[in-house]
Amino acid sequence: MTDSNTPVASSRRDFLKTGAAVAGTVGLNLSMTAGAYAAAGDQLKVGLVGCGGRGTGAAQQALTADSQVKLTAVADVFPQAIENALGQLKANKRIAEQVAVSDEYKFVGLESYKKLIDSCDVVLLASPPGFRPYHLRAAVEAGKHIFTEKPMATDAPGVRSVIESVKIAKEKKLGMVAGFCWRYDLPRRELFKRIHGGEIGDVMAVYGTYLTGPVKPMPPASSRPKDITDLEWMVRNWYNFTWLSGDGLVEQAIHTVDWLQWVAKDAPPTKCTAVGGRQIPAHGGNIFDHIEVNYEWENGMRGFMAQRQISGCHSENSLYVMGTKGQARIAGFGKDAVSISGTNNWKYEGPSPDMYQQEHDEFFDSIRTGKPINDGDRMVTSTLTGIMGRMAGYTGKQVTWDMALNSKEVLVPEIKSWNDVVKVPPMAQPGITPFI
């Protein structure tokens, strides 16, 4: 993902001191242009990279957020994905007139994002996470505001690249909003405000769950078309490979990891241990289908995270925050899911707009007002917290924050052609798979 000369952060203390910065200077040779300011009434051109379901949804929310936003360019490795996305967006009567993508701005291919970035003001990044550090770097160097899906990377070199990109974005005054959508959910904002305000006392422990059925199961090899390369087969089934998705913990359950980080006020954990493995056949993929991580923070707080994607099992997406004066809970979805019990009983009774839309509403409003939101620091911290947990589970080792941040394991190769060979590590075996 990044070359061997990528600066490496030396310690957790350095990370905290800089608010997500690596050792050494970054971007000294870049032309430092301020981010695009768009007054009310000015048109903003938006480009979408990654035309799957989440990318299409992000485009819809961007167009809904601002009537003067137009989708003018799209990019994907598969042409059919582009046509599917545009068809869905044009079918939405509310935003149909804002979809203005001509044929010459439908970019196809592994490097199509480069052409798209040059043509727009705001970039929506929704390709598989393994490619995200490349896409982020290209966007910030081009001086574009960015909405990016989570996670930010799938390995430590990718994280270090994103840390540099965040710094460049700050220097250029660019907006950078991440798809950690729960941070924009009003009921949960109020809950965490109360947690941080001391309504449950001192937080001792937090337990989060992400228990579901299989999200994107790997199909058997017998279903693979004969005319596609190994790389294309992987990309079509990207969720099942650590280099592309990060795995279930890093790609899906990262939302729950982000809740843990929210409780911790985004301070990185000092260390973690984990247990996990693979129960159902992988059919060629190499991700675990269950893992449980035990995180520890410098103040002694413990955070526990349970992730499972197996059919026929109990499903749950909850958070339990245990304090000295009570307990805060997120039990499922909707505004009724958040509550506090104990010394200060509380249930949310305010408005609850769609969090995905709220995220884009605030993002585009910040661009209009010349004060673009930059979520970069916390989106990097949550991403590496997830990767750190995966490292502990896959190796069986206790992994510290410094170990994770400075890891030399490169999962994502530089890719230029569908014929490129990608070596996929075998399924990890805790106690045997080394920490690199």
Strand 106-108 with 122-125, pairing: unpaired
Please check whether residues 335 and 371 belong to one and the same domain: no
Residue 317 in tokens:
């997406």
Please check whether residues 161 and 89 belong to one and the same domain: yes
DSSP letters of 294-353? Answer: EEE-TTS-EEEEEEEE-TTS--B-EEEEEETTEEEEEESSSGGGEEEEESS-EE--S---
First vs last C-alpha separation in the chain: 16
Please check whether residues 220 and 169 belong to one and the same domain: no
Put the strands of the sheet holding 318-323 in their side by side order. Answer: 346-347, 338-342, 326-331, 318-323, 203-212, 302-309, 290-296, 271-277, 399-400
Residue 107 counted as domain residue: yes
Please check whether residues 83 and 205 belong to one and the same domain: no
Please check whether residues 334 and 228 belong to one and the same domain: yes
Give which of 358, 336, 364, 332 is closest to 185, Cα–Cα: 358
pLDDT per position as a tens digit, 159-190: 999 999 999 999 999 999 999 999 999 999 99
Please check whether residues 176 and 322 belong to one and the same domain: no
At which residue do the structure tokens 């970069």 appear? 376
Rg (CA), the chain: 21
DSSP letters of 127-185? Answer: S-GGGHHHHHHHHHHTT-EEEE-S-S-SSHHHHHHHHHHHHHHHHTT--EEES-GGGG-
pLDDT per position as a tens digit, 274-301: 999 999 888 889 999 999 999 999 999 9
For the segment 252-257, the average pLDDT, to the nearest whole number, is 97
Residue 202 has pLDDT above 50, yes or no: yes
Residue type at position 113: Y
pLDDT per position as a tens digit, 403-422: 999 999 999 998 989 999 99
For 367, the domain range is 12-182+361-375
Give which of 46, 92, 52 is closest to 66, Cα–Cα: 46
Asked if residue 372 lies in contact with residue 207, where contact means CB atoms within 8 angstroms, the answer is no
Residue 26 in tokens:
């970054």
Predicted pLDDT of residue 37: 55
Asked if residue 39 lies in contact with residue 362, where contact means CB atoms within 8 angstroms, the answer is no
Give which of 282, 240, 265, 209 is closest to 381, Cα–Cα: 265
**144 phi and psi angles, rounded to 5 deg:** -105, 145
Residue 13 has pLDDT above 70, yes or no: no
Please check whether residues 368 and 346 belong to one and the same domain: no
Please check whether residues 232 and 170 belong to one and the same domain: no
Please check whether residues 119 and 137 belong to one and the same domain: yes
Instruction: Assign residue 286 the CATH number of its domain.
Output: 3.30.360.10
Residue 117 counted as domain residue: yes
Instruction: Assign residue 163 the CATH number of its domain.
Output: 3.40.50.720
Strand 271-277 with 399-400, pairing: antiparallel
pLDDT band with cut points at 50, 70 and 90 for residue 16? low
Distance CA 316, CA 321 (A): 16
Give which of 51, 69, 55, 5 is closest to 367, Cα–Cα: 69
Residue 190 in tokens:
């109020």
Please check whether residues 141 and 258 belong to one and the same domain: no
Residue 266 has pLDDT above 90, yes or no: yes
pLDDT band with cut points at 50, 70 and 90 for residue 336? confident
Residue 154 counted as domain residue: yes
Please check whether residues 243 and 320 belong to one and the same domain: yes
Residue 430 counted as domain residue: no
Residue 207 counted as domain residue: yes
Residue 427 counted as domain residue: no
Please check whether residues 393 and 371 belong to one and the same domain: no
Helix or strand (DSSP H, E) at 194: helix 186-196
Predicted pLDDT of residue 35: 52
Distance CA 120, CA 345 (A): 48
Bridge partners of residue 304, in order along the sequence: 207, 294
Distance CA 118, CA 259 (A): 35
The count of structural domains within the chain is 2
Distance CA 271, CA 293 (A): 10
Residue 159 in tokens:
């994280």
Residue type at position 116: L
Predicted pLDDT of residue 8: 46
- The burial of 272, by beta-carbon neighbours within 10 Å (0-12 exposed, 13-18 middle, 19 or more buried), is given as buried
Asked if residue 304 lies in contact with residue 294, where contact means CB atoms within 8 angstroms, the answer is yes
Residue 317 counted as domain residue: yes
At which residue do the structure tokens 């959910």 appear? 185
pLDDT band with cut points at 50, 70 and 90 for residue 9? low
Residue 433 counted as domain residue: no
